[in-house]
Amino acid sequence: MSIQYILELSGTGFFALSGALAANEKSKPDWFGVTFIGFITSIGGGSIRDMLLGSYPLSWVADINRMYIIISAIVFSSVFYNLLKKQRKLFFIFDSLGIAMFTILGTEKALLFHVNPIIAAIMGMFTAIMGGVMRDVLTNEIPVVFRKEIYATACLAGAAFYMMLNALHINREICLIFSVLVIIAIRIVAVKYNLSLPQFKRDE
């Protein structure tokens, strides 16, 4: 079992956990509802990417371990709910790590299909954020990409940085590590200093 695979499963589990917690805080659904939202949160982005790229079977269909991780994460969230909901800073760190890893892995997969680098970066971003977007829609929250914080932009910047290093034929592990660190750094700095992109149009 490779380190990359372990990281992918860890990210899948964390996103399932965050989806389950968000669902319970918002609407107090039953076990099926929480499981459904946790499932969508964890595999939504990768599924959209694979369908757009024409990559079948979808990753969660081909690998039953992802289902085991999702179910385990949801059970874990139920058992330790009161403890987990207090760990906001820890969740922020893991969320940043999760979107960073999925952005780069999604970009890599898109490049394997020989798409334009710009499209590859977008596919990486979709992998990282679309599960969270669907989670927010299902729980009647403002989708994360519309909130006043740098989120999807950090993913695009990290994907672009990865492709720049890759074009220079730098070792893959180095490309991956430094690109992930770029995304995490942007997220931390943006949240710490309350940075955001300019508004599309300001009210007069």
∠ CA 127-124-128, nearest 5°, is: 35
Tokens describing residue 34 = 């929480």
- Per-residue pLDDT tens over the stretch 162-187: 999 999 999 988 998 899 999 999 99
Residues 121 and 83: their CA atoms lie apart, in Å, by 36
Per-residue model confidence as pLDDT tens digits over 127-152: 999 999 998 898 888 887 887 678 89
pTM over 0.75: yes
CB 109 within 8 A of CB 55: yes
Q: By percentage, how much of the chain surpasses pLDDT 90? A: 51
What is the domain partition of the chain in residue ranges?
A: 3-192
Please state the separation of Cα 61 from the chain's center in Å: 19
Phi, psi angle pair for 140, to nearest 5°: 60, 35
